[in-house]
Structure 1
Amino acid sequence: MTELTGGSALPQERRVVTAIPGPKSLELQARRTATVAGGVGSVLPVFTTRAGGGVIEDVDGNSLIDFGSGIAVTSVGASAEAVVRRASAQLANFTHTCFMVTPYEGYVEVCERLAELTPGDHAKKSALFNSGAEAVENAVKIARAYTKRQAVVVFDHGYHGRTNLTMALTAKNMPYKHGFGPFAPEVYRVPVAYGYRWPTGPENCGPEAAAQAIDQITKQVGAENVAAIIIEPVLGEGGFIEPAKGFLPAIVQFANDNGIVFVADEIQSGFCRTGQWFACEDEGVVPDLITTAKGIAGGMPLAAVTGRAEIMDSAHAGGLGGTYGGNPVACAAALGAIETMRELDLNAKAKRIEEVMKARLAVMQEKFPVIGDIRGRGAMIAVELVKDPETKAPAPEAAGALAKACHAEGLLVLTCGTYGNVLRFLPPLVIGEDLLNEGLDIIEAALGQL
């Protein structure tokens, strides 16, 4: 069956014709080992030739079902028609001028779309960058310029990037921080509302965790010293943790009451991924600043900080920017991605993916006690694997074995989590339901073998 919803002419089918990785991928892997730094890892060393819709095709002719989307990047598919069309047209006109030298309309248009789509009806402005880490780093710069304060508060299990400052903001040591210090100062970490592991149960988690976090900020940092509080509305690398209900609104209220800039890091969860344009909309949270990247441009490198005009304008002229920030080809791709999201109603598609996945995973949980928790929203779903459902002892070995078994059958899945025990699912939002169910069949079979 050929599905064209994502603009891809690739046959939308799983096809395993060699071992995975196959002989040609292994040859390329040998070349890679000789010349690519060992610190750059890969989840699955199959070398891609084409991708689109819900599949990735490799050099050996295998076609894999994609439950990764390049880590939530190719939400509209890896070769969406509008992205290819707009980016190709821009490539033919010019590839670069540097917006800080001579500007161009595409950058302005992306900022206009961001002002429309992000939560809140206040006046908004944006600055464009290349990567999520750059966006977060610039959000901190802007918050410090606006508040004239220095401290930044982040949360347990949070992930914000790999630059020096964003490594300091990130919770997990291995592989993100280990051996790379010292890190940027004035960063403080407080508890997050992790319902599944909260001592008094998920029903008490939201208010209790918020009270604990606020108490720590007040006593250990001083609210008057805090420039920004930064949180992912659904924590990504930390294990697809949805903060328990009530937690985010309480933290936002505290920030508002104390003149602290509240930053929603929507790099993994934004742009229809959770069934809403942005995950923070779920509880009506309106951030002061919102950082975006990943899904914004259909696979081209682009990131943004969007926020209240008066906060965004607090940095002096020339204080924000970068040679490639808001590259014209990436801006054109972003306009194509947003066009696709609107035309195909990808929020509705994400909600349907959640419906299908959660129903199937709930049946698996009944059969396999290794599944301790099913969580997430939209097409950002995860299962947390445990050795024992009573003690909830993490089972990272099970997550690794499951991922390996899925890969061998032609299903690309990713792991994550502070304890390395979470299997996460980020299918392209344009994936066909037949492929989605086939992928879930493979997961169920792999659980059976476990």
Structure 2
Amino acid sequence: MIVGLPVVVIGAGPQGLAAAAHLLERDLEPLVLEQGTRPAAAVAEWGHVRLFSEWPELIDQAAARLLAPSGWRANEHGYPTGEAWISDYLAPLAHALGERVRFGTRVTGIGRKGRDLLVDAGRAEQPFVVHVEEPGGAQSRIEARAVIDASGSWSAPNLAGADGLPTIGEAEATGFLTYRIPAFENPAEYAGRHTVVLGSGHSAITAVTELARIARQYPETRITWALRRDGVGSTFGGGDADQLPARGALGERAKDAVDHGIVSLVTGFRTERIDTTDQGAVLTAEDGRALDPAARVVVLTGFRPDLSFLSEIRLELDARLQAPVRIAADIDPNIHSCGSVRTTGAADLAQPEPDFFIVGAKSYGRAPTFLALTGYEQVRSVVAQLSGDHEAAARVELVLPETGVCGGAGLFDDPDAAKGEACCAPAPKVLQIGRAPVSATR
């Protein structure tokens, strides 16, 4: 690895800031480039949402050690909202890193100095060149000894179209659509109206449970929850068997809303077109079924990685997930089952481009269920690798909590496959992260 240059970290989110803390502990100089104007700008956009991980699972140990001299103390209990995660942890961490974090700086491309994607000769000996757009639009170049891409996938939500592309009329219906979990601060926007939720992940479940809360107050409120698969499968999660209790409870609340008729669940609905009418947006499926006009359509069908600025970096990604090939089988929702998700480290995340790593939510590509725990272990291992401590890089210091759901998503068109029975042991109350619980005074 080239000396005398910083390690560029893309993104000042939870994993990016943790990576910087680990780099400082290893006497490597980090430079964090954040497109937003504040720490964890993406988290701020869903700051109203409460996490299903407790505080101890949301704090990186190296970050806690960096913060300790300032008198900062880790929260030991409770499930914070995204905004509380920022104010109580991520913002102080960014402040502690000081000028090593640059805000309003958008990465537009990464390459090797003097070498395009084609060139082999001397490639690994050349520094990375990170092309950025500074505040005000000025263009500049930053040379780096290594690059850690922790930019996440929040900026690239999946669309309503079941084929991954915009459905007919989607662009014209933007006034009715949102691709984020609404804040629901103004119930009147949804009370007495019809809302359609597309998606089956935790974001969709969160939206459904919040809408159900409004519907209980305002009985004329209508909620349609549309799933692409022909069966419910593991949509509701593992319940009591989920080793993250709040995650299991979230699915149970959604199931209760469906069971009591507060939410109408529609399966096998693959959106082919959206028509804008005076009564609202009308979604029509590939099989011709049409939903009643909706005042709002909440599209929560997942995210995909933004690879646009990596065109000159040599990548080896899974063809389906757009995730590093060595972790794809473990996170693939088509085959995921109890205990099949393992911790990932530097060896799993390495790319054909030496000293370039994708970490955090972006490392999961299009796969869901990424946890902050996963990202913290990733950056610990990656930074150890960059520092030359290969033993620490190879060591596993985290066991991920199981979901309590057996089997994968099941056959796409089989309503009887993968019913999602709980199969894992009862959830422990406390998770241990790394080799010791997080402590701000350690």
Structure-2-length-normalised TM-score: 0.28
Looking at secondary structure, tell me which structure has more helix per residue. 1
Give the TM-score of the pair, scaled to structure 1.
0.28
